[in-house]
Amino acid sequence: MVTFTTEVVADTAELASRAAAFVAATARESVAARGVFTFAVSGGKTPWAMFAELAREAVPWAQIEIYQADERVAPDADPDRNLVNLMQALGPAPARVFPMPVTALDLQAAASSYSSTLPLTFDLIHLGIGPDGHTASLIPNDPVLDITDANVGVTAPYQGHQRMTFTFPVLDRAQHIMWLVAGADKAERLQQVYARDAAIPAARVQASQQIVFADRAAAGR
């Protein structure tokens, strides 16, 4: 059973601040309990400010492991890479970051290799919602949606790039999913997520505990 907890904030600045505080608190709890916090992050512009806020939080950075939930297939320094923006936002925060190997010649083998580095269960996975209802790089009508026997897959080209992405099985095992949603153009899609409308990939995530941070525009009614 999927349970949603929702926090609606005034604007994107408060969205970044509140989400960062939640991540920091979850990190401290996980490290206190198990000695490590495993966190996976998605791409998109909305989370950049959250990562910058997180870098200023008092958290046990040496015990934090950050993985990518998705990445564009592009050269290492390409500004389209999620990793570039993540590292810029985190700045000198000394977390252990595990980049997706999207420059490999054999992407399928690289996806399998990255899968082998993942924890069985993530403490927290950050996700967003695209205008078409995609999340991570689980894109409508892409064969990657049907993968059930691997944690990481490779998509067909989408908006100019192939993508490497977590699949539903690894998302569904997460202790917590954290949705970060901003803008009126996401309001309808967010309602579809709440309604468990399988017409969009974002609504197919089955992790039992899902927390939504949304600004007023995205929260809609």
**For the chain, percent of residues with pLDDT exceeding 90:** 93
Given a cut of 90, whether residue 46 has pLDDT beyond it is no
Nearest to 67 by CA among 209, 156, 164: 164
Given a cut of 70, whether residue 117 has pLDDT beyond it is yes
Amino acid symbol at 94 = P
Torsion angle of C-alpha atoms 202, 204, 208, 209, degrees rounded to 10? 10
Nearest to 122 by CA among 194, 26, 49, 55: 26
Of residues 45 and 159, the one with the higher pLDDT is 159
Provide the CB-side half-sphere exposure for 111 (13 A, CA). 23
Q: Map tokens 């908006």 to a residue.
A: 159
pLDDT of residue 75: 95
Q: Summarize the confidence of residues 180-189 as an average pLDDT.
A: 95
158: its two tokens? 């989408």
Q: Summarize the confidence of residues 39-63 as an average pLDDT.
A: 92
pLDDT of residue 221: 66
Range of the domain at 27: 3-219
pLDDT of residue 92: 82
Residue 41: which CATH number?
A: 3.40.50.1360
Domain count, the chain: 1
pLDDT of residue 91: 87
